[in-house]
Amino acid sequence: MEAVIKIGNIQYLIFPNKFIYLNKLNYKINKIIKFKNNILLIKDKNNKILIGNPIIKNFIIKAIVINHIKTNKIIIFKKKKRKGYKKKIGHRQILTKLKIIKIKHI
C-alpha cells in the first residue's frame, strides 16, 4: 500500500517502513503521529488507485518520530566587486526523521 501525502507545501510518496525527512516538527522523539487530513492519493494492495478531491477521507497514516537532525552546512557568500563588500553566512536546516508505520483504512 502506497500513499501520497502533503505536509507543509511538499508532497511525499510513502509506504510502510519508509523513512522520510521533513522540516522540523515540534514533536518529541518516539511520539506517534497520525496523518488523516492531508492524504492526496492511495494505491492499495490490488493496485487500485484512489484519488482525493482534494483529500481522501477514511484513511489514516501512522508515523513515529525517530530523530531531529541537522543537514550539512551550506555556505552563502556575497561579494560586490570593487566596493569592499563581503559577507559569509552559514546555514544548517533542522529536519525531523519519521518512519511510516502503517497506512490503514478506518
Q: What is the torsion angle, in degrees rounded to the nearest 10, for the CA atoms of residue 65, residue 32, residue 46 and residue 21?
A: -20
pLDDT for 8: 87
Closest CA to 62 of 105, 22, 30, 33: 33
Question: Are residues 65 and 29 in contact, defined by beta-carbon separation less than 8 angstroms?
Answer: yes
Taking 50 as the pLDDT cut, the residues of the chain under it are: none
Question: Are residues 5 and 41 in contact, defined by beta-carbon separation less than 8 angstroms?
Answer: no
- DSSP-assigned letters across all residues of 4-47: EEEETTEEEEE-TT-EEEEE-----TT-EEEE-S-EEEEE-TT-
Distance separating alpha carbons of residues 34 and 102, to the nearest angstrom = 10
